Structure 1
């Protein structure tokens, strides 16, 4: 079986790409991770064994990961100039393959001031709630009204134009709230004694 021999021009282009990467101080794995690519995938471009290295969109993507330009790559191939790669330049950025974890959860607090939710939450209990997390049936919620009023309740159900909740004056008393007057509803995720 004949062995694959890359075109000499593709080899020069791959070598110039490798030179740009080394000047940036990156390994093949680090450069590839900026594009969600493996080090082997990046290495195939540098060795001239991956097709497409002459395509402008591929060159922009690869040189962008190195905070460089296709023009800098062309200058290296031609030998006309040795371009300076600015580490502070803004190029293509990627999160790479690392996992940053979930975004931080915003939690707000509200102290119960009356016995409207008794025995579920006595006066003095602090409700922790997560804004815009929709509550399940029977779960505590904090309803932020458009007038700025905060109403801790137990969520029952929702209809197109109304919320059905419990806890006004007594836990078994139902209340219907017009959704037009509600700014936000948030699920209670914890109750703490103060």
Structure 2
């Protein structure tokens, strides 16, 4: 079944409608709300997927919600620029803001040297861990001791001054580590075969 391919002229009208909306500083939801329409419905007009965009009454309704005219829409479609008019503010408006993305995730690697974590991690497996990401129960972790020693373990639980882990010689062997001797604990986020 072929996908719906809108008419190129309808696409141009939809793009012009989107340009008018952005000039007005409105989101699709805000523009649609002015006509008791959902943002999805407004988006369908802008993407050329809703019939009736050529009808003058529909164009009047849509451009009226943007405090514009069908003539301004026609000028945008023809490529001419509409005169810039600052509309009166009707509530809180924003021209958009740039947001910083999340900081990059630091990932460290540790190669397993013995079979203490077998079968969870055999010798030669590379553990990828994220510093300062706290592990869940049963998840692998890398414990950095204050003396610089790195201990790969399976995290069990934490108490006020102790960490309960497994893997100090074998997975069935529990170990209790004093928190005073721990510099950092990090969750293992991946295991890779070398």
Offset at residue 21 of structure 1 (A): 23
The answer as to whether partners of 2:26 and 2:93 remain within 8 angstroms in 1 is no
CA distance 1:12–1:132, shift in 2 (3 Å): closer
The answer as to whether partners of 2:140 and 2:154 remain within 8 angstroms in 1 is yes
The answer as to whether partners of 1:24 and 1:85 remain within 8 angstroms in 2 is no
Q: Tell me, which stretches of 5 or more residues in structure 2 are unaligned? A: none
Q: Tell me, which stretches of 5 or more residues in structure 1 are unaligned? A: none
The answer as to whether partners of 1:108 and 1:128 remain within 8 angstroms in 2 is yes
For residue 30 of structure 2, give the secondary structure of its aligned residue in structure 1.
Answer: helix
Q: Pick which of 109-118 and 8-17 moved more.
A: 8-17
Deviations 1:131-168 (A, max 9, x none): 00000000000000000000000000000010000001
The answer as to whether partners of 2:135 and 2:141 remain within 8 angstroms in 1 is yes
CA distance 1:58–1:185, shift in 2 (3 Å): farther
Deviations 1:40-85 (A, max 9, x none): 9999999999999999999999999999999999999999999999
CA distance 1:131–1:55, shift in 2 (3 Å): farther
Offset at residue 175 of structure 1 (A): 0.1
> Cα RMSD between the aligned structures?
11.5
Counterpart CA distance in 1 for 2:6 and 2:128 is: 63
The answer as to whether partners of 2:25 and 2:94 remain within 8 angstroms in 1 is no
CA distance 1:123–1:15, shift in 2 (3 Å): closer
Work out the number of aligned pairs and report it: 194
Q: How do 1:1-194 and structure 2 match up within 5 A?
A: 97-194=97-194
